[in-house]
Amino acid sequence: MEEKYFIKTYGCQMNVYDSHRMAMMLEDMGYQKAQNQSEADLVLFNTCHIREKAAEKLFSDLGRALIIKNERAERGLKTIIGVAGCVVQAEDEQILKRAPYVDFAFGPLTYHRLPEILKQIKNKKESGVVDTDFPPESKFDFLPENKAEGGCSFLAIQEGCNNFCTYCVVPYTRGVEYSRPVEDVIKEAKKLIATGTLEINLLGQNVNSYHGEDQNGKERNLAYLLNKMAELDGLKRLRYTTSYPADVDDDLIKCHHDIGILMPYLHLPVQSGSNKILKAMNRRHTRETYIEVVQKLKAANPKLEMSSDFIVGFPGETDEDFEETMDLVNKIQYIQAFSFKYSKRPGTPAATMENQVPEKIKKERLDILQTRLFELQDKFNQKCVGQVFDVLFEQNGRHKGQLIGRTPYMQNVHAVASSDMMGKIKQVKILSATTNSLTGKVI
């Protein structure tokens, strides 16, 4: 009988991409996707270390995995448990101390070694393999070809980060910045398009610092790559995420004017509206330079709408600082955003800063911010009622005969649609809206 795998993914889109590539690798080895954890011979957790909650979730899930492993053992079935991703990179051997039944663990930069590690475990009956190298080779050179899973695909073009924002673990878990060569990216994009992708989202922790080499060894920026992508036959939608405000250059701004398939929606995390806090965070933008960049982007494409990430309760944040964040939110009128309470991460400079903000105040500020962000999101969604959008259908709806797709602005749209419209773009008239989604009719 064929062996089955189950992957649970936490964290960012990069992890979603990595999990997809690991799944492809396992399928190449003859594994099949399991419908649930208890039928899986291999259970893999692809983890996130960004906030304390994300990391702690892993250990409660691992506890549950052990129970399932024991139940399976009673039925005479073996289970291999693996942990991948950023928690492994950050905690290293600690994982095996806290969860000794984990068979192997590797960080985000070495998952191309998965087949080798599985072989080691199976042949030598070894367990407790931990691989947290920052390897000299690029994993991308060792992964089997990527394939599309539907109409939308992620494509990692850049990994790691040199920015060292004082609250953030990413430079420690994903290492220094690395950009894939232009030709590699184009080759993977062509393969994704050939297997059904209409939309590609180019990924990187700091994607607009992309500086990959072209065929002649010349370094090229993200704008160059976006223009190359726009030439690909069959690609209908292009996005890139996540961008660092200080690294938005004029070439990139021009792309928002020139490239028709570049979607009019940009995630540009500001984190705070207070210059004092931005400085303490080691962000290289001020509220003024951020507003200027947004204005230039909107001048390049007047249809452009913005989204962002926010952290409230960063050490030293006063009521006045928080007011500045609220003021910025009202100025930019974000149509969507993620917001978080500051979470102390071991080893980062902010964790040992004085003036940590009490939990109660963090919660109050988060409530105020989220209420406003949801109002703005709702306002934009209501404005869409009566308009017609191109919608790319991506998943089945809750009811039979219904599909869920996305507008250029990433809003979810529920519509009555036949199953052959899955993975396709259709024109949809929006009939009603809530804060979280739209309902429409295919025309």
State the residues that interact with ligand SAH by CB under 6 A.
Answer: 50-51, 167-168, 170, 205-206, 242, 244, 269, 271, 309, 311, 340, 342-343, 345
Name the residue nearer to ligand SF4 (CB basis): 89 or 205.
Answer: 205
Report residue 224 as tokens. Answer: 């160059």
**Cβ at position 174, least distance to ligand F3S in Å:** 5
- How many of the other CB atoms lie within 10 Å of CB of 378? 15
Closest separation in Å from C-beta 20 to ligand SF4 = 21
Is residue 11 close enough to count as binding ligand SF4 by CB under 6 A? no
Under the rule (CB under 6 A), what is the footprint of ligand F3S? 11-12, 14-15, 48-50, 85-86, 169-170, 173-174, 205
CA distance 356 to 313: 8
Contacts (Cβ under 8 Å, ≥6 apart) of 127: 103, 104, 121
CA 283 to chain CA mean position, Å: 20
Neighbours of 257 (CB within 10 A): 14
Stretch near ligand SF4 under the rule CB under 6 A, chosen from 121-129, 133-141, 161-169, 402-410:
161-169
Residue with Cβ nearer ligand F3S (168 or 294): 168
Nearest CB to ligand SAH, comparing residues 49 and 180? 49
Nearer to ligand SAH among residue 257 and residue 284 (C-beta): 284
- Compute the distance between CA of residue 294 and CA of residue 308 in angstroms, rounded to an integer: 12
DSSP character at residue 72: H
SS3 266: strand
Q: Which whole-number Å values give the CA distances from 193 to 21, 147, 229, 262, in the listed order?
A: 16, 9, 11, 16
| Binding partner of 173, given ligand F3S, ligand SAH, ligand SF4, none, CB within 5-8 angstroms per partner class | ligand F3S
Per the structure block, which two tokens stand in for 4?
A: 């089955």
Q: Which does 407 bind (CB under 5 to 8 A by kind): ligand SAH, ligand F3S, ligand SF4, none?
A: none
Q: Which residue, 204 or 405, is less far from ligand SAH as judged by CB? A: 204
Pairwise CA distance, residues 102 & 123, whole Å:
17
Among 58, 81, 130, 165, binds ligand SF4 (CB under 6 A): 165
The number of helices, as runs of H, and strands, as runs of E, in the chain is: 13, 19
Question: Which listed residue (163, 179, 241, 301) binds ligand SF4 by CB under 6 A?
Answer: 163
What are the residues binding ligand SF4 (CB under 6 A)? 161, 163-165, 168, 170-171, 205-206, 244
